Structure 1
């Protein structure tokens, strides 16, 4: 394929071999996509231990795991629970993903927030107490470009000490300016580690590239992100295999990206536009088992729990191993303050149409825990945990 016929995302993905050779991470080990394809990473003693912990077992065994998980969490993290909230910048997307509400196939109301609109969303969250915000966007280089993200970071940095990104995967050279602008965390979920299912779920767009996404955390590490989060979307493939792959990925990152703090999440599919139905169910009991197994095998890794889960389950597992929770979340652009309502437009397979109704942009998925931030914080205190709104300030790096 010549340069003239390259698609936009193919151009963005091209890497200079010489430039990669100069990066501190690449060149010293195989990437995870390479080690996972070889299969050897699933045979490590740690992953084999994890495999035994997620085998079918009695309630008494899960209770013992829960006690051990809780004890390890208190030992390494104390009684703190970091709270964060997402701000959705855009629900525009060029990918066709069967399970996602933002898929270009869905006829939904879309909008991309302007910089000042995002600042008003952030100001709302800051007034609620948040000092840790995750910026989320669909994958559309026309609307969510590197320059757009840079300007967003520069605008929010004086307001918010800790800013993380959950956006389209990039090259290390593209991430580096965002880190310099103030992004300290990068979150990227593989969705499913099962390659065949991945190909089936991602029909068109740059997200079709399985290995490109799988190696994204390592590119982010090379760019200097202080925190890196990974996860699998449970419901697309067999939960046991997804959990094993997730454990193998964590071990790989611990060995090769050891300067960054790692977090892991286990989101389960929720209702969304397109009405995709989960193919495989991860029941609550096994959800708790996997979470405890992750804590036992990875005692220093943060475990993230979102508002996808019901309040009762979140309350039950919060003391067992979770170290970071979202609260009072909205999964649509402008969800907190109504920003962008005057620019709503509807698209069908990427083509704009006249809106057929509705007063807000489509959400990525329906949340399950609709409690306010204050209600979640109060419940955590009742459980003996300490909500933490701020655990980082860039000034630390400048301290003498």
Structure 2
């Protein structure tokens, strides 16, 4: 048992995670120890995933919703919100906009309404997205964040070829949960909490957890989130592929005051603690945060970012329609600007979908992460997918920035034979070859 900051962080650097007592001690440690915590989290992320940062964009297909979540613009009572339900032609159009930006990964999202957004509508939209191409470019991985549902529905999502299924508990504090969700199907705390068990029973082997930080005390939420992850890993044999850390932001028509505000330092600390406690998971940060905050959190544990996000259905390419989004965003940079910024900080932006297509998912993925084997795949695929982006979509500035880094990144591949192979593949991609991955 470790009972002081130095010993706990020394243990954490071994990438075996932390127990409940150790997490509690980090959560309650004086802020004077933050730099040590941040440094340990940085080391763990680098040891597990290297310098790659995965990029994606959300694709909202409907903001019709039968729930009454007090913090959300999509809530049923919000008569000031323009309701939008995309046709399949509009789903295709939105997908084309994302492809033209250079995106390869999307997160499909929708409000919960069994009449207008049943599982069949979600499945049809998945098919449309996968079937859409622009000049030979396409979306290669669709992750899904839709309402808690049945085992059979999860089977259908798995059959449709989704990547990760995400669902956030929002808050684990039951009394607060019931207050925040007074009406609608989401008001059932237990049904929502047990959704991931049904998802795994339905064949979903990559799943993502999350909390909306700011609804209740963040320390309670971190403990509960980690307890949930531990329970699922022990009961089902699979820990969370990702953990998302959205922070409560203003939303048009929301009625909940910002009562449990998580300040920037607290937020950075909780992100770092999650990285140390669950080293194998991908930590996802959205455009709810400012560019400066997103840049900083890359250094303390975040490994995936949404970029150039629009939370209004039909909003890509339509600035006039972006007032019907789910929440207020604070990072309005283009995808190219995000890529250039990440490169300038020494990280490798990644559009990789290799693990999914090589069946490195679920238990197989977790084993590779826990043994340290996934890093070599991450680095290679990040380099190759970034090269594809700059060759076809990048600005001159972004292309030049990446050009200065190729040799540095290649030198980080320890096996000389593998390094030479990747150097060859990189040259092919920069000449126009597409979709090379390991």
Same fold by TM-score greater than 0.5: yes
Cα separation, partners in 2 of 1:321 and 1:359, compared to 1, 3 Å: closer
Equivalent in 61, 64, 87 of residue 92 of structure 1 = 64
2:18–2:277 Cα contact (<8 Å) kept:
no
Residues 16-95 of structure 1 correspond to what in structure 2 (within 5 A)? 46-59=19-32, 61-95=33-67
Q: Over aligned residue pairs, what C-alpha RMSD do you find? A: 2.0
Cα deviation, residue 236, structure 1: 1.2
Cα deviation, residue 257, structure 1: 3.8
Cα deviation, residue 224, structure 1: 2.0
Distance 1:279 1:257 in 2: 35
Cα deviation, residue 261, structure 1: 5.2
TM-score of the superposition, structure 2-length normalised? 0.73
1:386 counterpart residue number: 348
Q: Deviations over 1:50-88 (max 9, x none)?
A: 1111114133x1101111101110111010000010000
1:365 counterpart residue number: 327
**1:231 maps to 2:210:** yes
Equivalent in 299, 302, 305 of residue 279 of structure 2 = 299
1:176 counterpart residue number: 155
Cα deviation, residue 239, structure 1: 1.4
Residues 295-374 of structure 1 correspond to what in structure 2 (within 5 A)? 295-338=275-318, 359=321, 362-374=324-336
Cα separation, partners in 2 of 1:146 and 1:55, compared to 1, 3 Å: same
**1:274 maps to 2:274:** no
Q: Deviations over 1:319-368 (max 9, x none)?
A: 221111001000110110339xxxxxxxxxxxxxxxxxx85561100101
Cα deviation, residue 179, structure 1: 1.0
1:120 counterpart residue number: 93
Cα deviation, residue 201, structure 1: 1.0
Larger strand percent: 1
Distance 1:360 1:68 in 2: 39
Number of aligned pairs?
A: 336
Cα deviation, residue 371, structure 1: 1.0
Distance 1:126 1:273 in 2: 29
Q: Deviations over 1:78-106 (max 9, x none)?
A: 10000010000100000111111000111
1:29 counterpart residue number: none
1:88–1:137 Cα contact (<8 Å) kept:
yes
Matched residue SS, 2:247: coil
Distance 2:224 2:144 in 1: 23
Q: Higher RCO, 1 or 2 (CA under 8 Å, sep at least 6)?
A: 1
1:376 counterpart residue number: 338
Matched residue SS, 2:231: helix
Matched residue SS, 2:122: helix
**1:200 maps to 2:172:** no
**1:247 maps to 2:257:** no
Cα separation, partners in 2 of 1:216 and 1:338, compared to 1, 3 Å: same
2:243 counterpart residue number: 264
Distance 1:57 1:152 in 2: 48
- Unaligned runs of 5+ residues in structure 1 are 1-43, 340-357
Cα deviation, residue 178, structure 1: 1.6
Matched residue SS, 1:110: coil
1:396 counterpart residue number: 358
Matched residue SS, 1:157: helix
Distance 2:355 2:226 in 1: 30
1:162–1:392 Cα contact (<8 Å) kept:
no
Matched residue SS, 1:97: coil
Larger helix percent: 2
Cα deviation, residue 45, structure 1: 7.1
